Structure 1
Amino acid sequence: MQKATIQLETLTCPSCLLKIENATKNLQGVQKESVQVLFNSSKVTLNFDEEIINLEKIEQAIATLGYVVKKSQVKAL
């Protein structure tokens, strides 16, 4: 299991938060209850199983919604 912290460009509305939250929770391999989208700091934190999904696929799911991923960090749990 890995923990990802993904820094996005500034989020401008609360509905952005819900879109990102729903998109990441629906990804196979992401631990649903771990997903947190922090509106004020424009960060997403989540845990994922690296044997099922990788960070690039998570970033791609966010980018597909139209949000720019600035940088990401991953730590082993």
Structure 2
Amino acid sequence: MKKAVFNLEPLGCPTCVKKIQSTLEKMEGVEEVKVLFHSNRVRTQFDENKVQAEDIQNTITKLGYPVLSQKVS
């Protein structure tokens, strides 16, 4: 398992949190998602054999939330 934190541009509302979280939870290989509204971060835990951090980042971006940076560990 790998972990990744994505720093986003400021989120506009709590609905944004639900949209990101529910979409990422449906991705194959994503085991855990936590969207932090006040710090504009998305924390994930994922199986690198099924999905990559870049795939998660691309999904967040496609939802309309630009990713400023990511840290994978």
TM-score, normalised to structure 2's length? Answer: 0.97
Which ranges in structure 2 are unaligned for 5 or more consecutive residues? none
Q: Which runs of 4+ in 1 moved over 6 A?
A: none
Q: Deviations over 1:6-38 (max 9, x none)?
A: 10000010000000001110100000xx21000
| Alignment match, 1:16 | 16
Identity of aligned residues (%): 41
Corresponding residue for residue 25 of structure 2: 25
Structure 2 residue aligned with 1:71? 69
- Distance between the aligned counterparts of 2:56 and 2:17, measured in 1? 15
Count of residues paired in the alignment: 73
- CA apart distance, 1:53: 0.4
Instruction: State how far apart, in whole Å, the 2-side matches of 1:72 and 1:41 are.
Output: 14
| Distance across 2 between alignment mates of 1:17 and 1:8 | 11
C-alpha deviation, 1:46, in angstroms? 1.0
**Which structure has greater strand proportion?**
2
CA distance in 2, matches of 1:23, 1:7: 17
User: Which residue of the partner structure matches residue 51 of structure 1?
Assistant: 49
**What does the per-residue CA deviation read over 1:41-74, in whole Å, with 9 as the maximum and x for residues that have no partner?**
0000010011110011101111111000000001
Alignment gaps of 5+ in structure 1? none
Aligned to 2:2: 2
TM-score scaled by length of structure 1: 0.92
